[in-house]
Structure 1
Amino acid sequence: MSGAGDEPFIAAVKPLVDAIGGELVPPDEAGPEDVVLAWEGADVVAVRLPQLADSLDHLLAALERKQGKPLAELDRKAKQQIVRTLEARGAFSVRHGVETVASALGVSRFTVYNYLNREKEPVNREKGPERPRG
């Protein structure tokens, strides 16, 4: 895939590529959707990005590894945090994203929507929700 001098560059980008669920391929095998990385003026390696649906599965697996146990075994507060993290990473823009996340968390789609909506509702925790005046 590369010359011996390129190995430190490839070693440096590999953790990032792994984190996003990508694949390193030789630059001469790069397709139109791949990202070719150059080092010191020469094409060294190409990154094959994952499909969005694969990315969600990869994100869920990474979060499970980080938690050290299946996501379905987490408490409600931890599951809410997982949903916030996934929302920030764009997980719910993927087709069937809510269903996939609900299945991984061992909750219903309705529960995932509740976790998402809960974050968007302005609530003063000391006074409770604001009430309309009138």
Structure 2
Amino acid sequence: MSGTDGQAFIAAIKPLVDAIGGELVGPGQAGEDDVVLAWAGAAVVAVRLPHLSDSLEHILADLERRHGRPLAELDRAAKQEVVRSLETRGAFAMRHGVETVASALGVSRFTVYNYLNRSTKC
């Protein structure tokens, strides 16, 4: 594989790696928990996946970027949509997920649970 092909492959996967909060490292620097990606039979790059505890923080930061302001400044309907989105992504299966989300939204845990209950009834 030419260097140009390898760079094109890396450029193609970078948005996905960024979206999951991963890090690109050289295949020779890959640890046992990293995922080495090959293209045309040659190892090109390794993806270092984030720790699960960092994933929720990364998702919340991405949501703030998408909304263009801190999540705590969103109106109630937008906060409910954020909670529904996070539920779909499994955020509340993580230990302290509700507390972390409540803090980011500037609401109580009780409010997050109410949003979750409301979304299952709709």
Q: String of CA shifts for 1:37-59, please: whole Å, max 9, x gaps.
A: 10110000000000111110000
**Which runs of structure 2 are paired with 1:87-98 in the superposition (5 Å)?**
87-98=87-98
Cα distance in 1 between the residues matched to 2:5 and 2:18: 21
Q: String of CA shifts for 1:78-119, please: whole Å, max 9, x gaps.
A: 000000000111111111110000000000000001101111
Cα distance in 2 between the residues matched to 1:86 and 1:10: 28
Residues 1:50 and 2:54 aligned together: no
Cα distance in 1 between the residues matched to 2:8 and 2:116: 41
Cα distance in 2 between the residues matched to 1:36 and 1:50: 15
Q: How high is the TM-score relative to the length of structure 2?
A: 0.95
**Which runs of structure 2 are paired with 1:1-134 in the superposition (5 Å)?**
3-121=3-121
Structure holding more helix per residue: 2
The AA in structure 1 aligned to 2:86 is L
Residue 132 of structure 1 aligns with which residue? none
- Structure 2, unpaired ranges of 5+: none
Q: How high is the TM-score relative to the length of structure 1?
A: 0.86
Q: String of CA shifts for 1:64-91, please: whole Å, max 9, x gaps.
A: 0000111000010000000000011111
User: 102-111 vs 113-122, which deviates more?
Assistant: 113-122
Residue 130 of structure 1 aligns with which residue? none
**Root mean square deviation, CA, Å:** 1.3
Cα distance in 2 between the residues matched to 1:5 and 1:99: 44
Cα distance in 1 between the residues matched to 2:5 and 2:60: 35
Cα distance in 2 between the residues matched to 1:120 and 1:15: 32
- Structure 1, unpaired ranges of 5+: 123-134
The number of residue pairs the alignment matches comes to 121
Cα distance in 1 between the residues matched to 2:95 and 2:87: 13
Write out the 4+ residue segments of structure 1 that deviate beyond 4 Å after TM superposition. Answer: none
